[in-house]
Structure 1
């Protein structure tokens, strides 16, 4: 039995692959189903696809590298590549330094950096930012959630406290030699004690160390209480936010008799006009568009029932707002009450 023999041609007899200077985006893979055909004198055919793509890429890269290697000249006409010394060139040793023009050493750079970063400039952890060493992230430190400041570091703190003390009739507020606030009666013969004089001494917080004021404020209507060290609702800040919450609930819509009614003020105004028609005509009916886009046929009794239910819902919203404002005035309102107790939207 004779085996098939394949004659391998001399490589020098094979034609050259034409080179195109382009970055062929994709180099294809040949599959087992790809017919392996070679160059037929016209087409390179699948057997040469990969070689052609890689040849094009190689030519593309060579062309760009050669262009990069082209000497780039300075404004004085000198190339930026390595050059051979020419007549008139100077070496560093031939240049005479002056106080204003001299070569820079590493020591010079460190000295100048030290001047720019004075020893008084430091990180939060107290490490000086001089040029003598590196500063890591741990050296920089981080600001805590709760900041602490001495009372003396807060600009205008004491005048603000003093101005917040409003004396009533016959009362005077003064400061003693220790910086304490003294509240005294000025009414002759009135008050307690000899001559009607009494004194209330407030705490001098300048000697109390630090005032802790955290930054995680839970709501704009809250303020920090330094006595209880907690966020409390400020009576003068709460009403607008309670009114806003009432408005959101009022406009949220309701479900009545299985239908979703809009409760915006515009929708309620339209329903008012339909209720007037229903009162004037017992046989009145209309097609009403619900909040979900559904059109529903409403008879006169349907219109009046929906009108009454929605009107009661809106009144309940305002009644709850009033109740919350009374709690604010009496000091019984807490932040959690802002979203609690409002009327149900399912009627």
Structure 2
């Protein structure tokens, strides 16, 4: 036995359980979708949207998002997480896009000149640091940002496979919770 839902105007219109060939039972102009592998099974009144040959269902009170919209939401979350900062050698370091660019150029100076020193602005103020600490900061920032992109890719693959669930958006990102909150004031 298989469970089918009939979709009409973006909504589940009826549900049918049969072991027959649905294409022989009803006119081909009616849209029936087999939901044997869909959890939870969509009910009458649920939203339904097809994208790239895959059907997505959501309860009537939940907004229905296409894979493209979900991907954009994941990218926005990654961008937000990317800028949460890192804690390196007792210093709270910004990881915004502007900060990443400045840190990368400072890191290049440190690689080119092992004696390089500079006044570096952290979240809590200026500190004088040398080449080795600059490189440590650059590596930590890069690792944090890369972990954010890696998590985004994992979520995008889940969306493509039809395995994405809303709670996944809050899970698996790099942890910035080790930054002392008193340092952020």
TM range (shorter): 0.5 to 0.7
Q: Write out per-residue CA displacement over residues 93-145 of structure 1, whole angstroms, 9 at most, x where no aligned residue.
A: xxxxxxxxxxxxxxxxxxxxxxxxxxxxxxxxxxxxxxxxxxxxxxxxxxxxx
For 1:202 and 1:242, the matched residues in 2 are separated by 30
By relative contact order (CA 8 Å, sep 6+), the higher-ranking structure is: 2
Kindly report which structure 2 residues correspond to 1:1-347, keeping only aligned pairs within 5 A, or say none.
158=8, 160=9, 181-183=26-28, 202=32, 212=45, 224-225=58-59, 234-292=66-124, 294-345=125-176, 346=178
Quick check: 1:320–1:341 contact (8 Å CA) kept in 2? yes
What secondary structure, in the 3-state scheme, does the structure 2 residue paired with 1:341 have? coil
Count of aligned positions: 143
Q: Please, what is the CA RMSD of the aligned residues?
A: 3.5
In structure 1, list runs of 5 or more residues that go unmatched: 1-156, 162-173, 175-179, 185-199, 204-210, 215-221
Q: How many Å apart are 1:225 and its aligned residue?
A: 4.3
Q: For the structure 1 residues 312 and 201, does the alpha-carbon distance in structure 2 shift closer, same or farther, using more than 3 Å as the test?
A: closer
In structure 2, list runs of 5 or more residues that go unmatched: 1-6, 11-22, 34-43, 48-55, 180-185
* TM norm structure 1: 0.36
Rg larger in structure: 1
Q: How many Å apart are 1:316 and its aligned residue?
A: 0.8
* TM norm structure 2: 0.65
Quick check: 1:253–1:262 contact (8 Å CA) kept in 2? yes
What secondary structure, in the 3-state scheme, does the structure 2 residue paired with 1:183 have? coil
